[in-house]
Homo-oligomer: A and B are copies of this chain.
Amino acid sequence: MASPHQKQTMKDRILQTADRLFYLKGIRAIGVDTISAEIGISKRTLYNHFPSKDALIAAYLERRFVQPKPSDKSPVEQILGTFDALERRFGAKDFRGCPFVNAVAELGGEDKSVKKVAIAFKESRRLWFRDRLLELGVADPEGLATQLQLLVDGSIAQDLVRDDPAMARAAKQAARVLLENAGVKVSSPDGAKA
């Protein structure tokens, strides 16, 4: 059925464009007309691939739910590297906060499926921290993972408002303190490695 040799299917093109517009401008702000016009296809074609805008929104969020790629670095480097990656993304012109938090803020508590996937995403990120903290053998990996995730989400919210990548550095500095306090040995706090 599927055509594996095609570079990009129509569904992919629709999803990719919807992703960009939903994320940059807001889900409610973008209509299906805008998406189809941007791709240069008819609205009918879009509806042939997605039964409704809600289905497109769901696919958009699913597409955003990606796992961090495996790394062979040390757990501490991976944890602190998270904030370096954040700083890089904050500097990009097309960064506009966490798509899951934004979707919940925009669509409200009404839409339960959106909230569900947002919760799942946040929890998966917290577990990623926890797994690395387990490897480090800290006393309370669950609690510390939550605290690190707070720093991540806090810096994202702050950058969304202020457009200031330094928020990621502040978060990294706080993370270092929390790690050291938990008995983890952290390399010198110079920021050259960003």
Q: Which of A71-96 contact B (CB under 8 A)?
A: 96
Interface of A is mostly: helix
Interface residue? A31 (CB, 8 A): no
Interface residue? A127 (CB, 8 A): no
One complex includes copies of this chain to the number of: 2
Interface residue? A194 (CB, 8 A): yes
A158, B149: Cβ atoms closer than 8 Å: yes
B158, A171: Cβ atoms closer than 8 Å: no
Roughly how many angstroms separate A107 CA and B26 CA in the complex, as a whole number?
Answer: 7
Point out the residues of chain B lying under 8 angstroms from A180, CB to CB.
Answer: 181
Point out the residues of chain B lying under 8 angstroms from A96, CB to CB.
Answer: 108-109
A170, B147: Cβ atoms closer than 8 Å: yes
Looking at the complex, which one of B25, B105, B115, B174 makes contact with A178 (CB distance below 8 Å)? B174
A149, B154: Cβ atoms closer than 8 Å: yes
Interface residue? A16 (CB, 8 A): no
